[in-house]
Structure 1
Amino acid sequence: MTVESLKAEALQAAIERAGGAVELLRNSPIRPHTFPVAAEFTNWRTEQAAWREGCALLDQSHHMTDLYISGPDAFRLLMDHGINSFKDFTPGKAKQYVAVNPEGYFIGDAVLFYLDEESFDLVGHPMVHNWLQYKAAAGDYDVRLERDENSYDRQAGLPPRVYRYELQGPTAVEVLEAATGQPVPEVKFFHMIDVTIAGKRVRGLRHGMAGQPGFELFGPWEEGEDVLAALLEAGQGHGLVRAGAKAYSTANLESAWIPSPMPAIFSENLRDYRAWLDVKEMGSLGGSMDSQDVQDYYVTPYDIGYGRLIAFDHEFVGREALENIADRPHREKVTLVWNSDDVTDAIGSLYRPGTPAKYIEMPKARYALFQIDQVLKDGERVGLSMDAGYIANEHLMISLASLDAELSEPGTEVTVLWGEKENSAKPTVEKHRQVAIRATVASAPYAAFARDTYRKG
Structure 2
Amino acid sequence: MSITVQDMRKGPEGYAWSRFGLPEYTDWMDESLSWKQTCYIGDWSFLWQHRFTGPDALQLISDYTVNNFETFEIGQSKHAIHTNKDGKVIHEGVLTKFGEEDYMVHGRGGYWLSFNLDRGNYNAKVSQEDWFMFQVSGPNAIKVLQALTDSEKLLEAKYMHAVPVTIAGHDVYALRQGMSGEVGFELQGPKEFSEEVYQAVLDAGKPHGIRKMGGRIAMINHLEASYPTIATDYIPAIFDADMADYMDFFLSSMPSFAQPAYIAGSFDGQEPSDYYRSPIELGWAKVVTTQRRGYLGADALAAEKARPHRVLRTLVWHADDVADIQNSLLREGEHYDFMEMPRDQRGYMWADRVEINGQLVGTTTSRGYSYFFRKMLSLATVDVDHAEIGTEVTVVWGAPGHRQKSVRAMVQSAPYKQDRSRGDLHQSTAP
TM-score by length of 1: 0.85
8 Å contact from structure 2 (residues 280, 304) kept in 1:
no
Query: 2:267 aligned with 1:286, yes or no?
Result: no
Amino acid at match of 1:296: D
Query: 2:132 aligned with 1:163, yes or no?
Result: yes
Match of 2:16 among 31, 37, 45: 31
CA–CA distance in 1 between the matches of 2:268 and 2:221? Answer: 28
What corresponds to 1:237 in structure 2? 207
What corresponds to 1:383 in structure 2? 362
Query: 2:163 aligned with 1:193, yes or no?
Result: yes
Query: 2:76 aligned with 1:93, yes or no?
Result: yes
Unaligned runs of 5+ in 1: 1-10, 16-20, 149-160, 423-431
What corresponds to 2:255 in structure 1? none
Query: 2:216 aligned with 1:216, yes or no?
Result: no
What corresponds to 1:54 in structure 2? 38
Q: How many residues align?
A: 412
Deviates more, 1:374-383 or 1:233-242: 233-242
What corresponds to 2:66 in structure 1? 83
CA–CA distance in 2 between the matches of 1:231 and 1:276? Answer: 37
CA offsets 1:9-59 (integer angstroms, 9 cap, x no match): xx2xx34xxxxx32232223261452133x221111111101100111112
CA–CA distance in 2 between the matches of 1:274 and 1:167? Answer: 34
What corresponds to 1:361 in structure 2? 340
What corresponds to 1:426 in structure 2? none
Query: 2:323 aligned with 1:344, yes or no?
Result: yes
Deviation at 1:111, TM superposition (A): 1.2
Amino acid at match of 1:270: M
What corresponds to 2:121 in structure 1? 140
> Secondary structure of 1:131's partner?
helix
CA–CA distance in 2 between the matches of 1:133 and 1:377? Answer: 44
CA–CA distance in 2 between the matches of 1:369 and 1:114? Answer: 32
Deviation at 1:379, TM superposition (A): 0.5
Deviation at 1:277, TM superposition (A): 4.5
CA–CA distance in 2 between the matches of 1:401 and 1:180? Answer: 40
Deviation at 1:234, TM superposition (A): 1.5
8 Å contact from structure 1 (residues 189, 456) kept in 2:
no
Amino acid at match of 1:172: A
CA–CA distance in 1 between the matches of 2:178 and 2:150? Answer: 22
> Secondary structure of 1:176's partner?
helix
What corresponds to 1:179 in structure 2? 148
Deviation at 1:272, TM superposition (A): 4.0
Structure 2 CA distance for partners of 1:229 and 1:406, relative to 1, 3 Å = same
What corresponds to 1:298 in structure 2? 276
Structure 2 CA distance for partners of 1:220 and 1:270, relative to 1, 3 Å = closer
Match of 2:25 among 41, 46, 51: 41
8 Å contact from structure 1 (residues 32, 283) kept in 2:
no
> Secondary structure of 1:47's partner?
helix
Match of 2:393 among 386, 403, 414: 414
Structure 2 CA distance for partners of 1:182 and 1:308, relative to 1, 3 Å = closer
Deviation at 1:397, TM superposition (A): 1.2
Amino acid at match of 1:95: K
What corresponds to 1:113 in structure 2? 96
Query: 2:177 aligned with 1:207, yes or no?
Result: yes
Deviates more, 1:135-144 or 1:380-389: 135-144
> Secondary structure of 2:62's partner?
helix
CA–CA distance in 1 between the matches of 2:53 and 2:142? Answer: 32
Structure 2 CA distance for partners of 1:59 and 1:105, relative to 1, 3 Å = closer
CA offsets 1:412-454 (integer angstroms, 9 cap, x no match): 11111122104xxxxxxxxx52222211111111112x1xx42
Deviation at 1:80, TM superposition (A): 0.3
Structure 2 CA distance for partners of 1:175 and 1:322, relative to 1, 3 Å = same
CA–CA distance in 1 between the matches of 2:189 and 2:340? Answer: 34
Deviation at 1:90, TM superposition (A): 2.7
CA–CA distance in 1 between the matches of 2:336 and 2:127? Answer: 44
CA–CA distance in 1 between the matches of 2:284 and 2:186? Answer: 22
Deviation at 1:456, TM superposition (A): 6.3
- Paired-residue identity, %: 35
Deviation at 1:340, TM superposition (A): 1.2
Amino acid at match of 2:283: G
Query: 2:247 aligned with 1:262, yes or no?
Result: no
CA–CA distance in 2 between the matches of 1:181 and 1:307? Answer: 36
Structure 2 CA distance for partners of 1:353 and 1:205, relative to 1, 3 Å = same
Structure 2 CA distance for partners of 1:52 and 1:394, relative to 1, 3 Å = same
Deviates more, 1:259-268 or 1:383-392: 259-268
What corresponds to 2:417 in structure 1? 447
> Secondary structure of 1:57's partner?
strand
Amino acid at match of 2:134: Y
Amino acid at match of 1:214: G
> Secondary structure of 1:224's partner?
helix
CA–CA distance in 2 between the matches of 1:322 and 1:394? Answer: 35
Deviation at 1:366, TM superposition (A): 5.5
TM-score by length of 2: 0.89
Structure 2 CA distance for partners of 1:130 and 1:417, relative to 1, 3 Å = farther
Amino acid at match of 2:326: I
CA–CA distance in 1 between the matches of 2:69 and 2:422? Answer: 19
Deviation at 1:72, TM superposition (A): 2.8
Runs of 4+ with deviation above 6 angstroms: none
CA–CA distance in 1 between the matches of 2:377 and 2:329? Answer: 21
8 Å contact from structure 1 (residues 198, 226) kept in 2:
yes
Deviation at 1:171, TM superposition (A): 0.9
Match of 1:71 among 38, 47, 54: 54
